[in-house]
Amino acid sequence: MNDIKKEEEKSLNFIEEIVEEDLRQGKYKTILTRFPPEPNGYLHIGHAKSICLNFGLALKYGGKTNLRFDDTNPVTEDVEYVESIKEDVRWLGFQWANEFYASDYFEQIYGFAVKLIQKGLAYVDDSSSEEIASQKGTPTEPGRRNKFAERTVEENLQLFSDMREGKYKDGEKVLRARVDMASPNMQLRDPVIYRIKHAHHHRTGDKWCIYPMYDFAHGQSDSIENITHSICTLEFVTHRPLYDWFIKELEIFPSRQYEFARLNMTFTVMSKRKLLQLVNEKFVSGWDDPRMPTISGLRRRGYTPESIRFFAEKIGVQKRDNLIDVSLLEFCIREHLNKIALRKMVVFEPLKIVITNYTGEEILKSENNPEDADTGHREVPFSNELYIEREDFMENPPKKFFRLAPGQKVRLKSAYIIQCDEMIKDGNGNVTELRCTYLPESKSGGDQSGMKVQGTLHWVSVKHAIHIEVRSYDRLFRVEDPANEEGDFKEYINPDSLQIISSAYAEPGLKNAKFDERYQFLRKGYFCLDKDSSEDKMVFNRTVTLRDTWAKEQKKG
Ligand code: ATP
Ligand code: MG
């Protein structure tokens, strides 16, 4: 894979160490990992970490990775999500060996439950979920079994079959594994493994009205697929004994579970449930809103797969939860865009200048990307009427203002040195136009003027410029960790996270912009074409600024 940084000799992460040891001991011939999303939302950057880890391990050690939809919860799942997940994994650059669905295993998993009942290791319980919870005890006090735990194997087999047949309503009965009501690990206190849910499933339709719980579907699916290393996030550490117990009692393939820290990132939220609220309550335009931490949002924002893989590599794999600074993600995309972005000139807030000693027009050459000479040059039209950025002119400049001011000289990028001779003002004293002269012998590439100027400005020719819309994005939240603030996380949304410049002036070459190209608007940042573009108006998203200005602004504020 063509990545930003070549794989350097670096130390292994703890999961790689485990895999290498397993291979050295000959435990497995090849490794098999899986990425197991629940299709109840779009993938986010946290999932990208898991994808890069699971697929990355298989790539590194010559194994394979399955894409498995963990679709055991019919109510929240949808095919729209299945499609988006596949698109996102592919876009990140990974190819799965098999596309599987936990729902394809429902019959087998049902059989596993029957086997547990036959071994006297599962029973049907008629208690409500509140009763079950109240009988569970506390971490320091053992729980107690109720009378339903006394049911015979025959009775349990009949009741479980009746549950499947639809003889009971939602919540009337559950199937529980008989593990250990005195275990200090609450997960082992006779966990519920099947529940009744009369709901339509996006794949199995109305075939089932009982569904296995996560703990009785995930590990079982791993075993069915012969997954060697089942990697999940830390909240499942306490589930591992149960994962192993089922494997032992069912005598199925001994998959092993390993846990790593989930990715949390500053100034955003990282849970599908919360992201869904942002979408449903219209705080954002959709799952792919460029301010969202979703993969589709980042893609629309202009992030590249390389930058996200680079990020995943940089953050590594930890055993402890932490909060990663979003500026690290921004650093990763800047690194990549600096190498690949085509340079363009765009004026956001124009101030017209007239070059009084220039007549006609000409085509100048400007480099496409100074970081990559192979990209060559583009043509930019120049004439006697230009726009420069209003903020690049000051009537009464402070000492070190190296841009344009009365009597001061600057270079126009890839063009000439000009000098400001005169200001034109309106009735209110606002500058509306500048009169300048240019030095004909100062042309970029063959400057004979001997003149040294400090500032270089971007510009566009008035009559050649095209109008574009520019959307600049800021953090979606005002606080670092909105999910851990008091009250509702949505109270911390940044009201100024989207700024639209509906008519910026761009050099005409941008007319041919493509969705898969990336651009640096000189001195402005990195941009990409947005899908909202139409025949009438092209829309560009700011992916990221040229430098990390946020840290500075925070200090000022
Ligand atoms: P969410 O809480 O966002 O809904 P989830 O864990 O319920 O996430 P799943 O679809 O079950 O989402 O996750 C698929 C895989 O991605 C799991 O292995 C899960 O551990 C992993 N994953 C989810 N969120 C993160 C994260 N923030 N960082 C790393 N891995 C994650
Ligand atoms: Mg989940």
Q: What DSSP letter does each residue of 495-509 carry, written as one string?
A: TTSEEEEEEEEE-GG
On whether both 290 and 439 belong to a single domain, the answer is: no
Q: Environment class of residue 266 by beta-carbon count within 10 Å: exposed (0-12), middle (13-18) or buried (19+)?
A: middle
Q: Which residues of 360-390 are buried (b: 16+ CB within 10 A; e: fewer)?
A: eeeebebebbeeeeeeeebebbbbbbbbbbe
Mutating to test ligand 1, I would choose from 50, 72, 92, 265 the residue with most ligand atoms within 8 A of its C-beta, which is: 50
Structure confidence at residue 518 (pLDDT):
98
Q: Whose CA is nearest to atom 8 of ligand 1?
A: 271
Structure confidence at residue 76 (pLDDT):
85
On whether both 396 and 489 belong to a single domain, the answer is: no
Structure confidence at residue 2 (pLDDT):
57
Contact 287, 294 (CB under 8 A): yes
Q: Which residues of 119-135 are buried (b: 16+ CB within 10 A; e: fewer)?
A: eebbbbbebeeeebeeb
Mutating to test ligand 1, I would choose from 47, 100, 218 the residue with most ligand atoms within 8 A of its C-beta, which is: 47
On whether both 437 and 493 belong to a single domain, the answer is: no
CA 504 centroid distance within chain: 28
Within a domain: 383? yes
Within a domain: 319? yes
Q: How far is the CA of 349 from the centre of ligand 2 (A)?
A: 46
Contacts of 89 (CB under 8 A, 6+ apart): 35, 43, 51, 55, 67, 96
| Closest of 319, 464, 472 to residue 381, by C-alpha | 464
Laid out side by side, the sheet with 525-529 consists of 342-344, 519-521, 525-529, 538-544, 466-473, 498-506, 346-347
On whether both 63 and 82 belong to a single domain, the answer is: yes
Q: Could you give the dihedral angle defined by the CA atoms of residues 325, 328, 331 and 333, in that order, rounded to the nearest 10 degrees?
A: -100
Structure confidence at residue 551 (pLDDT):
56
On whether both 195 and 145 belong to a single domain, the answer is: yes
Structure confidence at residue 75 (pLDDT):
87
Within a domain: 338? yes
Q: How far apart are CA 367 and CA 478, in angstroms?
A: 38
Handedness of CA 503, 507, 524, 454 (dihedral sign): negative
Structure tokens at 78: 């949808």
Q: Looking at this protein, which amino acid is placed at residue 35?
A: F
Q: What residues are labeled active site?
A: 38, 262, 272
On whether both 360 and 473 belong to a single domain, the answer is: no
Q: Whose CA is nearest to atom 2 of ligand 1?
A: 271
Q: How far apart are CA 88 and CA 294, in angstroms?
A: 9
Give me the residues near ligand 2 (ion), CB cutoff below 5 Å: 38
Structure confidence at residue 216 (pLDDT):
98
On whether both 84 and 173 belong to a single domain, the answer is: yes
Q: How far is the CA of 293 from the centre of ligand 1 (A)?
A: 13
Atom of ligand 1 nearest to the CA of 54: 18
Within a domain: 16? no
What single DSSP character describes residue 210?
E
Atom of ligand 1 nearest to the CA of 264: 27
Within a domain: 496? yes
Q: Which ligand is nearest to the CA of 39?
A: 1
Single out the residue in 458, 483, 500 at which a domain terminates: 458
Single out the residue in 237, 260, 283 at which a domain terminates: 260
CATH number (domain holding residue 379): 2.40.240.10
Q: How far is the CA of 38 from the centre of ligand 2 (A)?
A: 6
Within a domain: 497? yes
Q: How far apart are CA 268 and CA 409, in angstroms?
A: 44
Rounded to 5°, the CA angle 263-268-274 comes to 90
Contact 440, 404 (CB under 8 A): no
Atom of ligand 1 nearest to the CA of 275: 3
Q: What is the pLDDT along the chain (557 residues), one digit of tens a residue?
A: 556 655 555 789 999 999 999 999 999 999 999 999 999 999 999 999 999 999 999 999 999 999 999 999 988 878 899 999 999 999 999 999 999 999 999 999 999 999 999 999 999 999 999 999 999 999 899 999 999 999 999 999 999 999 999 999 999 999 999 999 999 999 999 999 999 999 999 999 999 999 999 999 999 999 999 999 999 999 999 999 999 999 999 999 999 999 999 999 999 999 999 999 999 999 999 999 999 999 999 999 999 999 999 999 999 999 998 899 999 999 999 999 999 999 999 999 999 999 999 999 999 999 999 999 999 999 999 999 999 999 999 999 999 999 999 999 999 999 999 999 999 999 999 999 999 999 999 999 999 999 999 999 999 999 999 999 999 999 999 999 999 999 999 999 999 999 999 999 999 999 999 999 999 999 999 999 999 999 999 999 999 999 876 555 555 54
Structure confidence at residue 552 (pLDDT):
56
On whether both 437 and 551 belong to a single domain, the answer is: no
Q: Which ligand is nearest to the CA of 46?
A: 1
On whether both 108 and 65 belong to a single domain, the answer is: yes
Structure confidence at residue 78 (pLDDT):
86
CA distances from 541 to 303, 326, 466, 468 (A): 11, 18, 16, 11
Single out the residue in 260, 287, 303 at which a domain terminates: 260
Mutating to test ligand 1, I would choose from 66, 82, 213, 262 the residue with most ligand atoms within 8 A of its C-beta, which is: 262
Q: Which ligand is nearest to the CA of 47?
A: 1
CA distances from 324 to 10, 15, 220, 270, 395 (A): 21, 20, 33, 12, 43
Q: How far is the CA of 309 from the centre of ligand 2 (A)?
A: 22
Q: How far apart are CA 124 and CA 410, in angstroms?
A: 83
Q: How far is the CA of 39 from the centre of ligand 2 (A)?
A: 9
Q: How far apart are CA 95 and CA 55, in angstroms?
A: 8
On whether both 319 and 244 belong to a single domain, the answer is: no
CATH number (domain holding residue 190): 3.40.50.620
Structure confidence at residue 557 (pLDDT):
41
Structure confidence at residue 16 (pLDDT):
96
Q: How far is the CA of 318 from the centre of ligand 1 (A)?
A: 15
Strand partners, 345: none
Query: For the chain, what is the domain count?
Result: 3
Contact 456, 473 (CB under 8 A): no
Q: Which ligand is nearest to the CA of 294?
A: 1
Atom of ligand 1 nearest to the CA of 39: 10
Atom of ligand 1 nearest to the CA of 50: 30
- pTM exceeds 0.95: no
Q: How far is the CA of 518 from the centre of ligand 1 (A)?
A: 30
On whether both 550 and 536 belong to a single domain, the answer is: yes
Contact 187, 242 (CB under 8 A): yes
Rounded to 5°, the CA angle 364-366-367 comes to 155
Mutating to test ligand 1, I would choose from 233, 260, 326 the residue with most ligand atoms within 8 A of its C-beta, which is: 233
Residue 56 has φ and ψ, to the nearest 5°, of -60, -40
Give residue ranges with CB within 6 A of ligand 1. 36-38, 46-47, 49-50, 70, 232-233, 262-263, 270-272
* Domain ranges, residue 57: 24-260
Within a domain: 412? yes
Q: Whose CA is nearest to atom 13 of ligand 1?
A: 37
Q: How far is the CA of 359 from the centre of ligand 2 (A)?
A: 67
Q: What is the 3-state secondary structure (H, E, C) of 113-163?
A: HHHHHHCCCEEEECCCHHHHHHCCCECCECCCCCHHHHCCHHHHHHHHHHH
Q: How far apart are CA 126 and CA 132, in angstroms?
A: 9
Q: Which ligand is nearest to the CA of 49?
A: 1
Contact 419, 440 (CB under 8 A): no
On whether both 247 and 110 belong to a single domain, the answer is: yes
Q: How far apart are CA 401 and CA 455, in angstroms?
A: 9
Structure tokens at 456: 């270089």
Within a domain: 267? no
